[in-house]
Structure 1
Amino acid sequence: MAGKFGDHLGIMDVKLTYTDGKWKVVNSKAKLEKIDTKSDIADKALIDMAAHDHDGTINYVRKEVGETTAPITSYFAQVQDDPSIQIVNNAQLWYAKKQVAGTADENLPILSAAAPFKAGTRGDASYYTDTPAGPLAIKNVADLYLYDNVTALLKVTGAQIKEWLEMSAGQFNQIDPNSKEPQQLINSSYPSYNYDVIDGLTYKFDLTQPNKYDREGKLVNQDVSRVRDLAYQGQPIDLNQTFLVVTNNYRATGNFPGVKDAAEKRLLNLENRQAIIDYIVSEKTINPSADGNWSFLPNIANADIRFASSDNAHAHLANQDAISYVGPSTQAGFAEYRLIVKEKANQVEDTANKESEKLSKGAETVDQTKRVTPKVIEGSSLVKPATAIQLSNSQVIILPQAQIQETQVSSSAETLPNTGSDESVSETLAGLVLVTLAGFFGIKKYKKIKQEKKPMSGLFCSSFTVG
């Protein structure tokens, strides 16, 4: 990958030989060159070539889909239940319930998992979602949900969900409740997009305990548990109960504890981003306010817990009683905040905690000798037609056809194009042609600059030596 946001040029040299009617790679090397920052003047030929598609894209993303009654921000998405995650989970639940209606799974409880994508990633203080209350356009949804993921539905047990949350809890550092020194809450090495909030449940994290898994999902502390008071509909979760969890293809096909042992994994026929658009269009007006389904145990109430977020976030503290502004950070654009965890009386450890501890001490959540072997579902009414792919001896993932089905949703203005529809496929092909032409002009420009011994910016180039 040639850096990020066009900040580097990727150069790849490949030497090939042609033998017996076939090309063979002899050797290759690749390097990154920082872009030339002496001039920021764009290439007019490329601007003219992209003008039509650029204008079309701008017009598309400015189309309104509905409105929000409250701001949607992600400044505090890593430290408390948050509207930027709530709206994604609301939309995913809305879509998944429609998909399972009338199927054999329609009576199973449905949960939703989503993570904060824009949370100051790569040390960028502007990398947060901040959408005011009022009209919502497609560009706001794209800002909220960055990736072109496809919705996925998993069939898991309560025990597997607990391990899923134990993995998510790796985002937090262990807190010493007796220390009077400031302690950082967020584990900076843990990617924010791996911190899943699972809606439809309530739970708390005990941060006096070490993390059970490392950032790669490797078990590092078998006999500990951070997940407490895990409940469904106000009752301790049944670790043997089956749930459906709607998420995205990235999580569904990953190596997360709990997720990797799911009995079934189904990729549905719509991008997560389009599901959000369809949900907003259907509802017309949405309230993204977080439902507060997760929090921290109050055993860290006396600790001085700090975290970093954008300096702009302090403008959103008026209605916050759990966060206070400390001051500007040494890192440009960021500020330091303090998390205020309130003590609560009558904190009683319930049956779910006891079952969780028993689970942790006795064995892995999913006994390796008693794993349920997933079934291949042929002719499923949920995703059809579908192709079943054997991932291992005990697991099957069900993939829909490559062609994404069109979803007909009309607004008061006009029907909005689907990001996963055939229209977008043709637009993508047009974009690929544009990129190819841009590469052609870029290579010519690169050769010219190379002759002048000047660095070039903004393109990924490759050269081939045929021997």
Structure 2
Amino acid sequence: MPNSQSRTGTVGGRLRLLATTDIHMALLGHDYVTDRALATGGLARLAPLIATARAEAHDEGAACVLFDNGDLLQGTPLGDHLSATPTDPPNPVSACLNHLGYDAIGLGNHDFDHGLPYLAQMMQHLRMPAISTNLACRDLPRLQAGVIVTRDMARTTAPGAPPLRIGVLSVLPPQTTQWNRHHIGEKAATRPPIEALATAVPALRADGADLVMVLAHLGIGGPASGPGSENAAEAIAALDGVDAVIAGHTHRRFPGPDHLGVAGADPSNGTLNGTPAAMPGAFGRDLAVIDLDLVHEGGRWRARAHKTQLRPSPRDGPQDADLVGVLTPAHSATRQALAAPIGSLKATMHSYFARARPGPITALIAQAKMAVLRDAVAGGPDADLPVLASADAALSGGHAGPDHFIHLRGGAVAQRDIAGLCPYPNYVWAVRATGAQVINWLEHAARFFAHLRAGDPDQPLTDPTVPGFRFDTLYGLDYTIDPTRPHDRISGVSYQGRPVRPGQTFLVATTQFRAAGGGGYHVFDDDALMIRGQTTLRDALVAYLRTPDCAAVRGAPPWRFKPGLGVQAVLHTHPDAITHLADIADLAPTPLGKTEDGFLRLRLSL
């Protein structure tokens, strides 16, 4: 609808909504693990796209706003460095947001990963409000439940046009306080997103908001979708009074093919339950642009039509010089710290086949956790209990792309390698679990695989809606997985050659995230927590690599596919895996070429 004033006096206008999400401290286009510049991604490379989109809006007579949807503060070693190193105010992250002129930011669950003091310090120097509608925290005095952003429509639409009042709300996964209980304790509380918005939306309308935008740090669809879940964006879009939704959290894209078949989602037109919506790619890969055609009637502005698009970060595109200047001191210090040597490896290790076979990378992580647990219980009443350790397949591609693998080539190991192995600042914790709980743990992990059927050689090996970080291997056990079964996929579970009994007791070394139910796993209560330590997984790996048990790391894998399934499936992996096919020779890997986004396709025979 063009900007105009009709014969009946109805005024038309336009609003351009720009949004980013899940930047995860990819402020510069740099891979700190490999210490190389990246051709795409990064907030500094999105900055010119933001400037262009704003200029277009100005030229077209449209109002424009810019929001971020959370999970900004954690995700690269640069974020770790800034959280641990005092900086002159403002914090460089705050300076970047201020420079780009964000109108408001929402919080995501990972924004709490470095603790409340750091989050509060970053917020203190922001020139825009930070919002969370379903989380309240007494240690974040500047956090607001919702705001109204005003735009002067008389300058862009028609003389005398009333101002546009845009209500902004933000919700994050209700499990955030649970996943981060080691940092948050009793200082914060969450409500289910739908419950919080059911009262916040009409309250913001009553305060004069013409439109209501929801920054939903939640996914779209998936097995946990619905009210109260971490993937409730569709339910939010269906709420009365919500005019647009920015989704996030799952590192996927919308509109586009990532959400084909999701009930209520229109991946072509960019709507969820008929409401304009977008999820830009993580790590600064996209800028979301939602253009709303407005009409002023009945005393307020209303949305009448929309267009949603994702503008991808241009390959080898320019980076904002001012942002680069602000970030360069911390960037350089981070690279220097990551170059420090910490040990050595005698052989190469990689995660290229982590979705099809337990490998030395997951074994290394599990053994480091076990070492912490054994030291903690040595000489105590639990010293004789069987010890297990979990390790996930997070570093195995997926929606993060074909570079999201780890390859340690042998020889010197530096801090950057540890950063690659542990992208999150997790702590080594341990839980007391029964045999029944252990088997349920394995069954939940096995949902990672697609339901395989005979006669379809090109079916995907894994369920594309389940990310690799949800797939745990439990080291210390021996078991088989049958992905041809829709459920009850685990069989033959044994410990040191003996079947695991439901009432048997184990100590399981894991992380605080998994112990708190992260990834949809069982939530262990305080009585079951045997270690709530302050040893980070990174520190545990550094200590282990000083005197690694190479035999344990390269020992027999804990699980295997059930023999003789008679099915074939396709694995997507890193192109360099082509030189390591002997590692999975028993699965008869057949190369099928590359995907458009750069993955090597391998057909496996199970």
Fold agreement, TM-score > 0.5: yes
Q: CA deviation at 1:3?
A: 4.2
Aligned residues: 321
Larger relative contact order (Cα-Cα within 8 Å, sequence gap ≥ 6): 1
2:477 maps to what in 1?
201
Judge conservation of contact 2:445–2:472 (CA < 8 Å) in 1.
yes
1:308 maps to what in 2?
572
Alignment of 1:2 onto 2:267: no
Alignment of 1:86 onto 2:350: no
Q: CA deviation at 1:329?
A: 3.1
Deviates more, 1:196-205 or 1:4-13: 4-13
* CA offsets 1:89-138 (integer angstroms, 9 cap, x no match): 01111111111113332221111001012211325111111121211111
Q: CA deviation at 1:289?
A: 2.5
- Alignment identity in percent? 24
* Equivalent residues in 2 for 1:244-393, closer than 5 Å: 244-254=507-517, 259-260=522-523, 263-265=527-529, 266-283=531-548, 288-289=553-554, 291-300=556-565, 302-323=566-587, 324-341=589-606
Q: Distance in 1 between matches of 2:339 and 2:551?
A: 18
Q: Distance in 1 between matches of 2:426 and 2:578?
A: 32
Judge conservation of contact 2:430–2:510 (CA < 8 Å) in 1.
yes
What amino acid does structure 2 have at the position aligned with 1:191? Answer: P
Judge conservation of contact 2:514–2:521 (CA < 8 Å) in 1.
no
* Equivalent residues in 2 for 1:112-261, closer than 5 Å: 112-122=389-399, 124-177=401-454, 179=455, 181-211=457-487, 225-254=488-517, 259-260=522-523
Q: Distance in 1 between matches of 2:552 and 2:563?
A: 28
* CA offsets 1:326-382 (integer angstroms, 9 cap, x no match): 2213333112212233xxxxxxxxxxxxxxxxxxxxxxxxxxxxxxxxxxxxxxxxx
* CA offsets 1:237-286 (integer angstroms, 9 cap, x no match): 12101111011111111166773256512421111111111111244988
- Normalised TM-score (structure 1): 0.62
Judge conservation of contact 2:592–2:603 (CA < 8 Å) in 1.
no
Q: 1:50 to 1:103 in 2, by over 3 A?
A: same
SS in structure 2 of the partner of residue 322 of structure 1:
helix
Mind listing any 5+ residue stretches in structure 2 that lack a counterpart?
Answer: 1-19, 27-41, 51-65, 68-101, 105-127, 130-141, 149-166, 169-212, 216-245, 247-287, 290-310
- Normalised TM-score (structure 2): 0.49
Judge conservation of contact 1:252–1:259 (CA < 8 Å) in 2.
yes
* CA offsets 1:265-324 (integer angstroms, 9 cap, x no match): 242111111111111124498874353110011131x22222221222111114431341
Q: Distance in 2 between matches of 1:148 and 1:106?
A: 27
SS in structure 2 of the partner of residue 298 of structure 1:
coil
Judge conservation of contact 1:280–1:286 (CA < 8 Å) in 2.
no
Q: Distance in 2 between matches of 1:156 and 1:229?
A: 18
Q: CA deviation at 1:231?
A: 0.1
Judge conservation of contact 1:71–1:133 (CA < 8 Å) in 2.
yes
Q: Distance in 2 between matches of 1:268 and 1:192?
A: 25
Judge conservation of contact 1:311–1:328 (CA < 8 Å) in 2.
no
SS in structure 2 of the partner of residue 336 of structure 1:
strand
Q: Distance in 2 between matches of 1:163 and 1:305?
A: 25
Alignment of 1:64 onto 2:83: no
What amino acid does structure 1 have at the position aligned with 2:447? Answer: G
Q: 1:39 to 1:314 in 2, by over 3 A?
A: closer
Q: CA deviation at 1:162?
A: 0.2
What amino acid does structure 1 have at the position aligned with 2:489? Answer: R
Q: 1:309 to 1:35 in 2, by over 3 A?
A: closer
